[in-house]
Amino acid sequence: MKIIFCPLFFLLFQFTVKAQVKPVTFDTKIVYKFTYQNDSTSSASRRSVFTQLTIGEQESHFQTLSKFRSDSALAQKGGSIWSVYSYGRIEPNNFLIVKRGDVISTYEPLNGMGFSGNNELSYYEEKKEVMQWEIHPDTAHIHGFVCQKATTVWGGRKWTAWFTMDIPISDGPYKFCGLPGLVLSVSDQDKYFTFDIASIGKVNSISFTLDQLRPDLDLQKTTKDAFYKDRKDLRNNMTAYALATGTRLDEEAKRRVTLDTKTDNNHIERH
């Protein structure tokens, strides 16, 4: 059921900073196919989207192609306040991951819904060093490159990555980084989440600033632990949250919200 979302200010242990991030110039763009299963009990929930990693001299940005395109449209019309959403699930298209220096910054709405309708955006930082890799002698050919195997236990899952030293960029899809070459493929042990390179090429592009996307946007700085705790609390009370935003839900709509939340049980990081 599609419903109108009105922003709600969360009472969280956070502080607000002005929504302003300097534009970044990128010279490399890698597209990955991201396949995910958001219900661990049903393979029918498997979906695929395309994501992009854009790399500049000082930092890289990772997001879905659909988010990049919606941000482009949003910037062209000077921002938007209202959008149509469906409550219950965390949309996989809303995050922006920025890697700069030894820090990974994640920007994502706490409620997991679309960006244009939220005037608050949470973000937290974590050190790249928390992802500890073990490099193995195994090799494979991927997308025409000789790759080497590496494994890590991170985010509550065991991951296997294939990286190539032919491209000496210590980066990869999502938050994966820290290897002596570009990650071309990575998946968890259960194959619930897989990133596979689709293309790589040179670009000359400049990122959008958050002010361009939403002039009224406030960034809510938090910690990773607090972000996931508050998200869990919110999702355990999603129907009440929907009603608190002014949405009218009949009994069937409440049932759907509860079901969607229950089957949306398998996220890339376990917390």
What pLDDT digit, counting tens, does each position of 182-191 carry? 999 999 999 9
pLDDT > 50? residue 16: no
Q: What is the pLDDT of residue 59?
A: 94
- Residue 148's closest CA among 130, 131, 133, 161? 161
- Residue pair 217/98 in contact (Cβ under 8 Å)? The answer is no
**What phi, psi does 221 have (nearest 5°)?**
-80, 130
The two three-digit tokens of residue 262, written as one number: 């229950």
Query: How does DSSP classify residue 209?
Result: P
Residue 232: band (very low, low, confident or very high) from pLDDT cuts 50, 70, 90: confident
Q: What is the pLDDT of residue 95?
A: 87
Q: Rounded distance, CA 255 to CA 50, Å? A: 31
The two three-digit tokens of residue 234, written as one number: 């919110």
| pLDDT per position as a tens digit, 38-78 | 899 999 999 999 999 999 999 999 999 877 777 666 666 55
Residue 208: band (very low, low, confident or very high) from pLDDT cuts 50, 70, 90: confident
Residue 149: band (very low, low, confident or very high) from pLDDT cuts 50, 70, 90: very high
Q: Rounded distance, CA 51 to CA 198, Å? A: 9
Kindly report the average pLDDT of the chain as a whole number: 82
